Amino acid sequence: MFHGLSAFPLTPLKEGIFDEQSFINLLRPVVDAGVDSLGILGSTGSYAYLTVEERGRIARCAVAHADDIPVIVSIGALRLDDILRLADDAQAAGVSGVLLAPVSYQRLTEDEVFNLYEKVTRQLSVPLCIYDNPATTGFAFSDELLFAVAALPNVGSIKLGRVPEDLSQVRARLPDTVTLGIAGDWRAASALQAGFDVWYSVLAGLFPQAALAIARSKEAAQSERLEPLWELFRRYGSLRVIAAAAEMMGKVAAPALPFPLQAVQGEPREALSAILAELELA
């Protein structure tokens, strides 16, 4: 589960309500492509904008349509009781793993983050992936905190948005049972070449074949071909770009994102249209 290519699809909304049929339609080609896992309700899945009840329904829908592909569901929330309820709902739905970033309004201390993971991991019957995502949470894991949390029971993977300078040293301090995953699609090829185990991919949630070509080959050329798309990801955020692509392709109704989020518009959207045509992404 925490190896290979993990695809993170959108959670499409229609008039602010979960669009179940569009979600199923998004999952189908990803499942058929044979990705190694599905990452549901991640940042690309807009988890922070959805209620606990909505997220439970989406988790059940994903598991029902995943065939034999493992499903990993985000359980991040502001309050511990919501996190634990989300974990219970996800496990009851039959997920294979959960993903947790330290979400907070007030910036958390290292002790608070460790205590959070310690409480949550004790309640789990499935493995957890730690998500270090300072761009959205405002909290960056130090190496020491990462090693301490990774040593907790039921931790199976770490999702990083960076490639450590000395990967071998990081490996040496992590339990053998904990894999390393990369986020930030433009970093994937170099991270996999360096020895990362899994790519947690936005691209794969809409264009699984293109992502699989990178994940399986680990060739820089496969990733460099998509540099115009990566540039849009870096400039506007991968969520806004991939949502625009899904809207333009008729995969989801527009607007697909929860208000006030908005897929890229105007000149960036026109540029995206040209890039998708040039790269023959469909």
Tens of pLDDT, residue by residue over 65-113, are 999 999 999 999 999 999 999 999 999 999 999 999 999 999 999 999 9
For residue 27 the two structure tokens come to: 């999952």
State residue 1's pLDDT score: 80
State residue 282's pLDDT score: 67
User: What integer is the mean pLDDT of 212-229?
Assistant: 95
User: What integer is the mean pLDDT of 157-168?
Assistant: 93
User: What integer is the mean pLDDT of 251-275?
Assistant: 97
Q: How far apart are CA 267 and CA 184, in angstroms?
A: 23
Question: Among residues of the chain, what percentage have pLDDT more than 70?
Answer: 100
Q: How far apart are CA 92 and CA 99, in angstroms?
A: 16
User: What integer is the mean pLDDT of 9-20?
Assistant: 97
Q: Check whether 251 has a pLDDT greater than 80.
A: yes
Q: What is the pTM of this model?
A: 0.96
CB 97 within 8 A of CB 1: yes
